[in-house]
């Protein structure tokens, strides 16, 4: 049912030419050209490379590499924690980074997660959004993919806050950077194949999914109904305000059946 509703959403977006929520896409012609370029590059280069990588790399090794690359890039989260004024979260993320970098053997093992130090997602785009900077137009960048004008500083910011940037040895950083790209692409295989096989218009589908995900992060993981859920509402139903969690009415339990009155039998006359 959910898959059917997503297909309906994609079809509606294709007909209207704008994403869910009526967000304009003034750069759509350019974005579509870059989207086509990225899709073809992925189809002919990254897909066979990532498939070969999965074939020769055991799943536990891929998981450990994912943990490692997440850890070396985690200072980006910490810096943006403090830029957003999230001091408590920043302190927690410092602890997470230190624990995984030491007890977790440079981050290959997520020891901090087992200790209850939750991972967070923060970047320069979310920081700018927190301080009221407008989103700007939706963008598709070559070799990068979906983005927005407000989020473009995150590209440079994530480079300068990555531990690998300060290693200073190209013989180490270049191969690791290539493996990071391949590993990230391999982890996204299921999602990419789903869009290829099911989306009526892959560009619209990807745009809507990306913008909804960014809104989800910006609003502190408390959004109102998403577009798929809105399609399932009866006509005329008010949509909750974004930024406020939806509160469902309490369930009404069925009324219990009344107890049957006890049947009184007449006394049996004595013989």
> In percent, how much of the chain has pLDDT > 90?
71
User: What is the three-class DSSP state of 69?
Assistant: helix
> In percent, how much of the chain has pLDDT > 70?
72
Q: What is the pLDDT of residue 24?
A: 76
Q: What is the pLDDT of residue 257?
A: 57
Can you tell me the distance from the alpha carbon of 214 to that of 154, in angstroms, rounded to the nearest whole number? 13
Q: What is the pLDDT of residue 5?
A: 37
What are residue 147's DSSP bridge partners? 139
A 10 A CB-CB count for 179 gives 15
pLDDT, tens digit (0-9, with 9 covering 90-100), for 222-258: 554 444 444 444 444 454 444 444 444 454 545 555 5
Domain spans in the chain, listed from the N-terminal domain onward: 26-188
Q: What is the pLDDT of residue 137?
A: 96
The mean pLDDT of the chain is 82
Can you tell me the distance from the alpha carbon of 178 to that of 183, in angstroms, rounded to the nearest whole number? 9
pLDDT, tens digit (0-9, with 9 covering 90-100), for 123-180: 999 999 999 999 999 999 999 999 999 999 999 999 999 999 999 899 999 999 999 9
């Amino acid at each position: 049912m959910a898959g059917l509703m997503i297909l309906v959403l994609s079809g509606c977006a294709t007909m209207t030419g704008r994403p869910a929520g009526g967000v304009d896409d003034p750069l759509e012609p350019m974005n579509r050209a870059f989207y086509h370029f990225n899709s073809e590059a992925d189809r002919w280069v990254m897909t066979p490379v990532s498939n070969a990588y999965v074939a020769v790399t055991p799943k536990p090794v891929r998981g450990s590499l994912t943990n490692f690359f997440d850890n070396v890039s985690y200072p980006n989260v910490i810096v943006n924690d403090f830029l957003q004024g999230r001091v408590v979260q920043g302190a927690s993320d410092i602890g997470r980074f230190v624990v995984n970098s030491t007890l977790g053997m440079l981050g290959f093992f997520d020891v901090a997660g087992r200790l209850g130090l939750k991972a967070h997602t923060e970047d320069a785009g979310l920081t700018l959004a927190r301080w009221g900077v407008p989103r700007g137009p939706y963008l598709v960048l070559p070799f990068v993919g979906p983005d927005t004008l407000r989020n473009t500083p995150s590209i440079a910011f994530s480079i300068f806050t990555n531990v690998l940037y300060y290693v200073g040895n190209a013989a180490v950083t270049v191969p690791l950077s290539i493996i990071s790209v391949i590993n990230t692409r391999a982890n996204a295989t299921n999602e990419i194949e789903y869009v290829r096989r099911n989306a009526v218009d892959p560009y619209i589908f990807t745009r809507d999914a990306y913008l909804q995900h960014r809104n989800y992060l910006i609003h502190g993981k408390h959004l109102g109904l998403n577009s798929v859920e809105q399609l399932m509402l009866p006509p005329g139903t008010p949509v909750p305000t974004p930024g406020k969690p939806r509160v469902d009415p309490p369930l009404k339990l069925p009324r219990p059946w009344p107890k049957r009155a006890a049947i009184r039998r007449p006394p049996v006359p004595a013989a």
